[in-house]
Structure 1
Amino acid sequence: MIVLVVLGALLVLALLTLVHWYLWRRLVRDVSAPGGRWRRTGTVLAVVLPLLSVGALVGGRAFPIAVERWFAWPGYLWLAVLLYLLLGLAVGELARPLLLRLPSRATRAAAVPDVPASDAPTADTRTSDEPGVNEPGVNEPGSDEPAAPAVQAAPSPERRLFVARAVAIGASGAAAAVVGTGMYGVLRGPRLKQVTVPLAKLPAGAHGYRIAVVSDIHLGPILGRAHTQRIVDTINAAKPDLITIVGDLVDGTVPELGRDAEPLAQLRARDGAYFVTGNHEYFSGAAPWVDFVRELGVHPLQNARVELGGFDLAGVNDIAGEREGDGPDFGRALGDRDPARTAVLLSHQPVTIHDAVRHGVDLQLSGHTHGGQLWPGNFVAELANPTVAGLARYGDTQLYVTRGAGAWGPPVRVGAPSDITLVTLASLRA
């Protein structure tokens, strides 16, 4: 096992080295003179930025959070910029040959010489006895003598430098715009999204019941107390009947992040607020966080169930807890309930939907995927999850997956905006 971890780490380092060498070549070497200021600066950045990213990725287990923040902001942001720089340069590689072949201004001028009007011939006045007229192969239609092919001159060094700089500036500008917009969306806070879910067994009296679903808040070295407060204010303004926090609340320990989570005590709903663990809670110490959110007035559902007015609300621990003997137990959470009642299940990861189907759950609420977070990450997320975002049906069970309210790693979202979802239950008997 240790050998596999070491080999995996070496493979990642080798890939990072190769990628940054390519970026250095395209963004530094190809666009600058040897010994110049940009050549020196770019070379230093090509070494320092990946080191900061590695520090951000391992910092949570190696440093206190106050130190980790120094790595997290530049290191994680660089990972997002790196992704879109590579995509931009990939487009540039396709465009580069075309840009090199386009004629320059000097070439176009040389192709159309400036001929004085007095010297221009007005008509062909040569007779058949003059040279070049009606001779085989010269101005004769149907001659078998092929015309000499035009020779394409190789692009000049100046042209190559111009194209290299144009591609570098275009890719860098596009990456900066995409990452800047995606970061603004995260730091601004999630927007409220509304979804209506019809349930066959829901009694008419529960028609219109509203559940606020929030997941993947990811308090940590970047997102802190202000982020939590924005989420709480958005939820309370929606006036839900029930609030559910579906895992991945934190990326750190209670001593480090407890103060950042304190605004959760302000959550207000008629039937209260409930919480289930996500995989990141087990990276940070799940048991202390369960106790802490309980102190804040949020009720943990650890493989447990409560009966509300119109349905049963159940919650299971995250799959990551299996390594600590604290994984999901669907029998304990759902085994002895009345099957005639509607069951709503809180489960962090969508992959548990098949267990939910077997236990007769009507609606599962999940998160975990972030909707892919950074396009084209949604295509990768689809390989590991039955549903990446939105509402889907599996047999008689419906699954709703929220994109989450925060971000892991880079505080950036592209093509997967953060959300808090207000799920309205609709009775077919109403």
Structure 2
Amino acid sequence: MGILINLDMAAAIDPLDGILIDIARRAQVPKTKHEEAVEHYVGLCQHVDRKGSPLEGKILECYPSGSFSIGAATYSYVRTMQHDVDVVLEVDYPITTDPQWVLDVLYRAIKGDPGSRYYDYKVERNSRCVTVTYPDGVTVDLMPVARIPGGPERSGVLFHHKADGGEKYTKEVNPKAFTNHFNANIRASDVFASRYRSRRLMADGLLQERAETQFMPDHVPIEEKSPRLVAIQLTKRFRDVQFRNRKGRRPPSVVIAAMALDAGPMSDSLCDEVVAIANFMQKRIREEDEMYRLLEVRNPAHYADVLTDRWPENQYAQRVWRDDLSRLVRSLTTLRAGDFDAQQLMKILQELFGETLAERVVQDHYRVHGTLARHNMLGIGKIGVVKSVLAAPATLGLSLPARANTDMGGSIENPID
């Protein structure tokens, strides 16, 4: 049975936006992995509150936070399909409880005794959470939070303790309020959805025609998300690639998400959205840097919650990220102009989003536009991009091989990819 695809709609998409949506689709966590993440954190929450646990009867609530809670989860390692899950454990302890004691108790509650469920897993006690690493490399960070009596709804304190050096304190937070605020202020776009639904069907259809692996369905199909949310995912992917060989902290995902809310009116162009977020962030950093101050970003739903309390550590750290963002904007501007050859296209995409995604997206883009060419549908949009992509397989020596039988295909080579 043939696949019904609106070729007119697929051809009319800005080619660069098409490339970016393909990158975002491949980088985001699909429905099956999302469901596994739910099983992981539910299982862990039940485990720490099990009969005989040091935290038995002390878990008030357990909920996902971070990227999973706002629909912006991406693979940390694309080739190995690994991702991170952040979980908040609201514990029934006074906010004055010793942070070291709380974190130690949580560690013992998860690790358990020999023979218990997670005893043989890799369980690490960190300065603000306990991390469980599953056999497939997926990690779950459980952060204990105590509610503030009489405080704003869902406000609490996290417990911080560094074993080396003995640094110890509590910090006021409200991750639930941030999630609710973010989700209430990010809207989907019918125009964005209609543009890219045809592209997704075409890409999936071409894969099926070649008997290659079908993509797992997204928890929320990416073209049905807000363009700004997809742009946040792309910015996170860009950040992960830039920081894969660097020491020090990365700009936190929650900081990127919070700042994206203030990046001006939303556009239906994915490229414009990424550029808007990058420009806004680097502008804010430049303003603070000129005053010899560090960037400060607060939870828009709970002012006392400072999201930048550990990054940037110093002016150098924020300048590094500012320069990264400047390079991202320059590179996207170059691609949008269409003044490049196939080798430049591949090189820029590799530098921005990693080798694996770049190669796969160029291959898929070539297939899509090859189909459009066979139907005499080319000539719509920015032709420079289309011509470059059409030339890519031969110019770059890509043989368009069948992929391995996994969600994303490929073998394990570069961890970030």
TM-score interval, normalised by the smaller of the two chains: under 0.3
* TM-score, normalising length: structure 1: 0.22
Larger Cα Rg: Structure 1 or Structure 2? 1
* TM-score, normalising length: structure 2: 0.23
